Amino acid sequence: MTDWEDSLEKLEAKLARAAELFKKGHAEKHQLQQEIEKLRAELKERARRTEGLERELISLRREREDVRGRIEKLLQQIDVLTQADSAG
């Protein structure tokens, strides 16, 4: 084999290796893009759930305040009634 043929074989091997690396890089890029899309979808779903939980929390806090107000009114009425009984 001549030096020229040997150099040509080495060049072919390098080109084949470069093509393999390119294919591998392309496949990895595609896989990473799919992973990014999956993570984006998960993030969107979590954000949606978080918003729902925040709305529920606000609603529960309002409800708690309403219940607190009602209980305070009942306690005041009980106080008035017990004061009237003890005075009478």
* pLDDT tens-digit series, residues 14-49: 999 999 999 999 999 999 999 999 999 999 999 999
CA pseudo-torsion sign 1, 21, 26, 31: positive
* pLDDT tens-digit series, residues 39-85: 999 999 999 999 999 999 999 999 999 999 999 999 999 999 998 77
The CA dihedral of 44, 50, 52, 56, to the nearest 10 degrees, is 180
Q: Is the pTM above the cut of 0.85?
A: no
User: Which residue has tokens 């998960």?
Assistant: 42
pLDDT confidence of residue 4: 87
